[in-house]
Amino acid sequence: MNILDATEDDLPAILEIYNEAVANTTAIWNEASVDFQNRKEWFRERKQLGYPVLVAQREDKKTVGFATFGDWRAWDGYRYTVEHSLYVQADHRGRGVGNLLLPALIDRAKDLKKHVMIAGIEASNQASIRLHRRHGFEQMGHMREVGAKFKQWLDLIFMQLMLDERPYPSAPS
């Protein structure tokens, strides 16, 4: 398995993985699938912001997962904090793809001098919670019934990882 920077050639696979998660999981709290143009605009926005989109590819070059991050909140004071997304193709979940994507994504956040990475995880997704704990994330909150999908209320777990130990932020640029 290789972890690579995504290109526009990866967008059909990213679209397929994303829409499968929308249709069949509570990992994404959207209820409607998206089209190729949506993913193309999303990809260009990530690149314009200088944020990575990583893909996990098998040796045969088939993309089986992707990960990225974006600003956690829009205000300047949050500029050192990112929230990430990580999705794996259904038939590759539980095979270590997330264990390869997550550390690579953490390294990219550190390279960009980010200070904290946030994970928002649906509370029943124990596999994702375990994955994040393995990589040093700590649970910081449990918000009850803040979402809904598949005719059920969803709880949200927030986990965070401190990316560095700097005592204070650098001056704004």
Percentage of the chain with pLDDT > 90?
A: 95
CA dihedral 91, 66, 148, 24 (to 10 degrees): -20
Domain ranges of the chain: 2-162
**CATH class of the domain defined by 2-162:** alpha beta
Burial category of 7 from C-beta neighbours within 10 Å (exposed 0-12, middle 13-18, buried 19 and up) = exposed
What is the average pLDDT value for the chain, to the nearest integer? 95
pTM above 0.85, yes or no: yes
pLDDT digits (tens, 9 = 90+) for 61-82: 999 999 999 999 989 999 999 9
Predicted local confidence at residue 171, as pLDDT: 58
Going by the DSSP 8-state scheme, the letter that residue 10 receives in this structure is G
101 touches 87 (CB < 8 A):
no
Predicted local confidence at residue 134, as pLDDT: 97
Predicted local confidence at residue 167, as pLDDT: 87
If one counts every other C-beta atom within 10 angstroms of the C-beta of residue 79, the result is 17
